[in-house]
Chain A
Amino acid sequence: MYIIDRRLNPGGKSLANRQRFLRRAKALVREAVRESAASRSVKDTEQGATITIPGSGVREPTFRRAPGGRREHILPGNKEYVEGQTIPRPPAGGGGGGSEGSPDGGGEDAFRFALTHEEFLDLFLEDLELPDLAKRRFVDGEVKTWRRAGYSISGSPANLALVRTLRNSLSRRIALRRPKPEEIARLEAERDAAESAGDPERLEAALQELAELRRRSQRIPYIDPIDVRYRQFQPEPKPIAQAVMFCLMDVSGSMTEHMKDLAKRFYLLLYIFLKRRYRHVDIVFIRHTHEAKEVDEETFFRSPETGGTVVSTALEEMLKVVAARYSPSDWNIYAAQASDGDNTTSDNERTARLLADRILPICQYYAYLEVGREDGMHPVGFIPRESDLWRTYSTLRKEGQPLAMRKVRHRREIYPVFRELFRKGADATKEAQATP
């Protein structure tokens, strides 16, 4: 009998099968992933997700019998039945006599399983990329990695390059003709032979030669300090991998729960996306009415607020936070603003100038999302009046400012809009407005 401990065997034996399964069900899984993302909170995305896909896509059919026909059952626990008695048919699937569920028919209608964080994001963010990611990659002096950089003649013993050292030693020994051990051994044998043969001349010659060789091998060391080499490492500055994401939202009375929900979904997507590209992502939530305040996520989305709408306050608040904590030379700054488009008319000019002169130059990306009512109030074909902010921002865009803007009315539009903004190769900021 053998006992074998398999616990230490490398795990993930079924990884290859899992990849085949995901590939097989890719279209379904992708669909389910996007669906499930809609219902999650911004910070939840740290974990993987459990998704449900329709069983038909990964069905394994076999020849099996359909219900019906004449079936016989043997059941335990008879209480009162007697032979020949008839019993009304119990409702289908009930625990009563006569309904044994087909053993493999059961779990087929929907298939539920968990995706890891990685798998989830891979599918979720397929073919998306961040615009201008490379444009502002600053070199930060503090983040360093070590890189091999050849050999040096000094260093710590731990970095001793043994092979290189011995190679040098060997070539030096060959060059200086240090006697080999075999030669010495040969002469010693010769000396012994001469001794036993009683040939003084031969003995003398051998002894002399031997003494000479020994002197030589003492003078020429096996390893000389000049042979020694050490592996050398050089610090290499790494591009900074940190980003901050500003979520700006109008929370004045005109923003309904529905609109906030749309905004939240957009922020969620942006967060996941940034998280994927940067090792460290901070989020700053700034909400505003006629005044702006930095708040936490819970307050941002939940607590109600009343007041007028002055967008520039939020932009000022953002600049304040940037100045205090997120120096643009160290951080990649992303901002997304959600609003129903209302603004105090007198504030429009100020907002535009703040954006164009101070915010956009420090941002990697600035997106404006105009959220609307779900029940599109306008009849088809009727061009709605554009909101204050939309017009203001459109003017900015015409000036060539890098600003992305989209309108969203329904939750199902969020993801397409997001994909549109970040599609590979698309320059979202230059695209004509594609709104519903």
Chain B
Amino acid sequence: MSADGGLGRLLYPGADWDFATIRRVYDAIEEIALGELGLDIYPNQIEVISAEQMLDAYASNGMPLLYRHWSFGKRFARHEGLYRKGFQGLAYEIVINSSPCISYIMEENTATMQALVIAHAAFGHNHFFKNNYLFRQWTDAEGILPYLDFAKGYVAQCEERYGHAAVERVLDAAHALMSHGVHRYPRRKRPDLRSEERRERERREHEERVFNDLWRTVPVKAGGVPAPSLDEERRRALLELPQENILYFLEKTAPRLKPWQREILRIVRHVAQYFYPQSQTKLMNEGCATWVHYQIMNRLHERGRISDGHFMEFLHSHTNVVFQPEFDDPRFSGINPYALGFAMMEDIARIATEPTEEDREWFPDFAGSGDAIGVLRHAWANYRDESFISQFLSPALIRRLRLFHLVDDSEEDYLEVAAIHDERGFRRVRRALSRQYDVGHQDPDIQVVDVDLAGDRKLILHHRVPDRQLLDAEDARLVLQHLADLWGYDVVLKEIDPKTEAVLKEHHASARPGLF
């Protein structure tokens, strides 16, 4: 950390930066992040990339490598079009939940922006990835990159062996079901992606070893399972029904899939599972990173490491990021996770250090504890968006944002204001907001409930319809078609009202012959 070269204590003189600047900035930030904020991070790897590479990263969900599929090309084309036309700027950074934690920073950023994104991504997000319970439970940061490498190679190999079209069909079908290819409840063991490649090999070797062509000539009973002798309960238990992870179910039970097709389903399922915690913690993750960068940049400025001008530049970007238009503003497009997340973190810090009477009443556990960063670190580690809001959203913040709860029932002619930011409304607003962030509420609840193994092998799925919110019929038809193709026989999806158990709507699909 040199403070020479006429810089005084400043980390950098102007907007320009070089690798020595990045290193200097990183060291200064690290000192604050680890020393004062007590963050706990994976080792960092910072990669400088160009705009085109950023678009590449966009197309593959930010992953540095991913198997090939046309949908990524489509995404690239869309982003590129928007970017070229100037409708869309590019993110300043992308960060990957891996160990080492990879942060991409754009070459066009100014030195201040680089400092901001390093604080935001390499420390804020990184800490969140390493400590939040969902990420610890569901993702394997050390294993993800080698696994993606294996997946990419495997898919390429399949393309070579079975043809592009055949692989594309499996991937299309798997992608359609991707949102229903995750385990939502913890299993016994943590995922271990690094052993996946070995396990794939072992599965294949086992099949080759036990393969005996004689079995082909033995007459097989329908379904290969002596189904009629099993009672219903036992059969469903054997098939692990009901099953909400549709891809998992298909991978394990679909009668007609070939081993490589099952492996591809498995790959898509693993990728979906890897991203599963991100959608549940968007608000917290961004709130955590934004709060961290705000703290760090302020401290750097206080210590004279950043000039006033550069600090203004930082504030300009920061306020843009945490801007929350009101509901009647033409710019409004839902609640900005950066804005709400940052506001909640600030609010928690305030409650911990300067609580009001109301805060003491609502948050007796930590109001006035004085240890803001301790409370925040605890929250970051042990909550997800839904539980975080229902636990920490304070009346003071609800008042400040003037949140209100609106009910839109398509059977009524008007909208109803169900609660506002008053004494009677705080809890209801908080509960309703927390429900919006509940992943169980966001994704339709669709489960495989039964399969008629003895008869025509029809697969039966149920969608439990919350508040009469039916599925989009056209999309449901397309996805169901994919599902039927994978399953190999007929499929029916029943939309069921959970209160009355009445079937509101049914979708049918039959497997197209010869597709798989």
Of residues 67 to 101 in A, which have CB atoms within 8 Å of B's CB atoms? 67-79, 81-89, 95-98, 100-101
Q: Which residue of A lies closest to B339 (CB)?
A: A76
- What residues on A are CB-neighbors of B463 within 8 Å? 63
Complex contacts, B93 vs chain A, CB 8 Å: none
- Given the known interface contacts A1-B43, A69-B467, A73-B408, the answer about A63 and B401 at a Cβ–Cβ threshold of 8 Å is no
Given contacts A3-B19, A14-B72, A84-B416, contact A95 B329 (CB under 8 A): yes
Which residue of B84, B335, B443, B446 is within 8 Å of A74 (Cβ)?
B335
Find chain A residues with CB under 8 A from B218 CB. Answer: none
B: contact size bracket: 35 or more
B48 within 8 A of A: yes
The reply to whether A70 and B470 contact each other, CB–CB distance below 8 Å, is: no
Interface residue ranges of A1-18 to B (CB < 8 Å): 1-7, 9, 11, 13-14, 16-18
Contact B417 A6 (CB under 8 A): no
Residues of chain B within 8 A (CB-CB) of A88 are 413-415
Annotate B239-282 by CB proximity to A: 1 below 8 A, 0 otherwise.
00000000000000000000000000000000000000000000
Chain B residue with the shortest CB-CB distance to A50: B81
Instruction: Take A6-B49, A113-B78 as given contacts and tell me if A69 and B471 are in contact as well, using a CB distance cutoff of 8 Å.
Output: no
Interface residues of B in 453-496 (CB under 8 A from A): 463, 465-476, 478-479, 482
Report yes or no: A73 in contact with B73, Cβ–Cβ below 8 A: no
**Which residue of the partner chain, among A67, A70, A74, A76, contacts B324 with CB atoms under 8 Å?**
A76
Report if A198 contacts B (CB, 8 A).
no
With the chains together, A19 CA to B72 CA distance in Å? 10
Closest A residue by C-beta to B118: A1
- Measured CA separation A69–B471 after assembly (Å): 11
Within 8 A of B (CB), among A92-116: 95-98, 100-101, 105, 107, 111-114
Query: When each residue 391-419 of chain B gets 1 if its CB lies under 8 Å from chain A and 0 otherwise, what string results?
Result: 00000000001111111111101111111
Question: Taking A64-B475, A70-B408, A87-B417 as contacts, is the C-beta distance between A1 and B45 under 8 angstroms?
Answer: yes
Query: In the complex, which of the residues A68, A85, A107 contacts B410, with contact meaning CB atoms closer than 8 Å?
Result: A68
Contacts of A96 in B (CB 8 A): 327-328
Known A72-B407, A113-B81; judge A11-B53 contact (CB<8 A).
yes
Are A83 and B168 in contact, CB atoms less than 8 angstroms apart? no
- The reply to whether the CB of B59 lies closer than 8 angstroms to some CB of chain A is yes
Does A163 interact with chain B (Cβ within 8 Å)? no
B138 at the interface (CB under 8 A from A): no
Q: Report if B508 contacts A (CB, 8 A).
A: no
Given A17-B76, A100-B334: A77 in contact with B405 (beta carbons within 8 A): no
Residues of B within 8 A of A50 (CB): 81
On chain B, the residues within 8 Å of A20 by CB distance are 68-70, 73, 164, 168
Known: A1-B26, A6-B47, A14-B59. A83 touches B53 (CB 8 A): no
Q: Is A66 at the interface (CB under 8 A from chain B)?
A: yes
* CB-CB under 8 A for A89 and B47, given A62-B475, A68-B468, A75-B404: no
Of residues 315 to 354 in B, which have CB atoms within 8 Å of A's CB atoms?
A: 324-330, 332-335
A60 located at the interface, meaning its Cβ lies under 8 Å from any Cβ of chain B in the complex: yes
Chain A residue with minimal CB distance to B410?
A68
Given the contacts A4-B46, A14-B59, A84-B416, A21 and B74 also touching, CB distance less than 8 Å: yes
Contacting pair B84 A114 (CB below 8 A)? yes
Q: Beyond A17-B59, A62-B176, is A76–B468 a contact (Cβ under 8 Å)?
A: no
A219 within 8 A of B: no
A23 within 8 A of B: yes
Given contacts A60-B71, A107-B78, A11 and B472 within 8 Å (CB-CB): no
Quick check: A81 and B404 within 8 Å, CB to CB? yes
Taking CB atoms, residues of chain A closer than 8 Å to B467 are 69-71
**A residues in contact with B503, CB < 8 Å:** none
Bound Cα distance from A74 to B156, whole angstroms = 45
Across the interface, name the chain A residue whose C-beta is closest to B409: A70
Contact between B179 and A70, CB atoms less than 8 A apart: no
Whether, in the assembled complex, B10 has its beta carbon less than 8 Å from a beta carbon of chain A, the answer is: no
Partner of B471, one of A4, A19, A66: A66
Bound Cα distance from A60 to B168, whole angstroms:
13
Q: Looking at the complex, which one of A3, A82, A101 makes contact with B23 (CB distance below 8 Å)?
A: A3
Cβ A78 vs Cβ B402 within 8 A: yes
Contacts of B473 in A (CB 8 A): 66
Which of B53, B107, B407 contacts A13 (CB under 8 A)?
B53
**Per-residue contact bits, chain B 164-192, to A (CB 8 Å; 1 contact, 0 not):** 10001000000110111000000000000
Binds A, one of B140-148, B227-235, B427-435: B427-435
| Contact flag A7-B335 (CB < 8 Å), given A78-B404, A78-B421 | no
> Residue A58 at the B interface, CB < 8 A?
yes
- Chain B positions within 8 Å of A105 at CB level: 472
Q: B407 to A71, Cβ gap below 8 A?
A: yes
Q: Which residue of B lies closest to A56 (CB)?
A: B474
Instruction: Write out the residue numbers on chain A whose beta carbons fall within 8 Å of the beta carbon of B410.
Output: 67-70
Q: Pick from A63, A73, A101: contact of B444, CB below 8 A.
A: A63
Q: Is A59 an interface residue (CB 8 A)?
A: yes
- Please indicate the chain B residues that have their CB under 8 angstroms from the CB of A67 in the complex: 410
Q: Is A24 in contact with chain B by the CB < 8 A criterion? A: yes
Docked-complex contact A76 and B405, CB < 8 angstroms: no
Which residue on B lies nearest to A87, using beta carbons? B415
A213: Cβ under 8 A from any B Cβ: no
Residues from chain B with a CB closer than 8 A to the CB of A23 are 70, 164
B450 interface contact, C-beta 8 A: no
CB distance from A16 to the nearest CB of B (A): 5
Contact status A75-B327, CB under 8 Å = yes
The answer to whether B415 touches A97 (Cβ under 8 A) is yes
A3 surroundings in chain B (CB, below 8 A) = 19, 22-23, 26, 46-48
Asked if residues B475 and A111 are in contact (CB atoms below 8 Å), the reply is no
Contacts of B475 in A (CB 8 A): 61-64
Cβ–Cβ < 8 Å partners of A64 in chain B: 444, 471-472, 475
- How long is the Cα–Cα vector from A64 to B442 in the complex, in angstroms? 9
Taking a contact as CB atoms under 8 Å apart, the answer to whether B80 and A82 are in contact is no
**CA–CA, A69 and B402, complex, Å:** 26
Give bound CA distance, A59 to B176, whole Å: 10
Contact between chains at A18 and B77 (CB < 8 Å): yes
A83:B48 contact, CB within 8 angstroms: no
CA distance A98 to B84 in the complex (A): 33
- Given the known inter-chain contacts A1-B43, A100-B334, please indicate yes or no for A76 contacting B73, CB distance below 8 A: no
Contact sample, A vs B, 5 pairs, CB 8 Å cutoff: A4-B47, A19-B73, A59-B478, A62-B178, A74-B432
Q: What residues make up the interface of B, taking CB atoms closer than 8 Å to A?
A: 19, 22-23, 26, 30, 43-50, 52-53, 55-56, 59-60, 68-74, 76-78, 80-81, 84, 100, 104, 107, 122, 164, 168, 175-176, 178-180, 324-330, 332-335, 401-411, 413-422, 424-425, 429, 432-433, 435-436, 443-444, 446, 463, 465-476, 478-479, 482
Known pairs A63-B475, A101-B333 / 13 extra A-B pairs, C-beta < 8 Å: A1-B44, A2-B46, A17-B68, A18-B77, A61-B475, A63-B479, A64-B471, A66-B469, A74-B436, A75-B327, A81-B417, A87-B406, A111-B74
In the A-B complex, list the 7 residue pairs whose CB atoms are closest, starting with the nearest: A77-B326, A21-B73, A17-B73, A69-B468, A113-B77, A61-B478, A75-B327
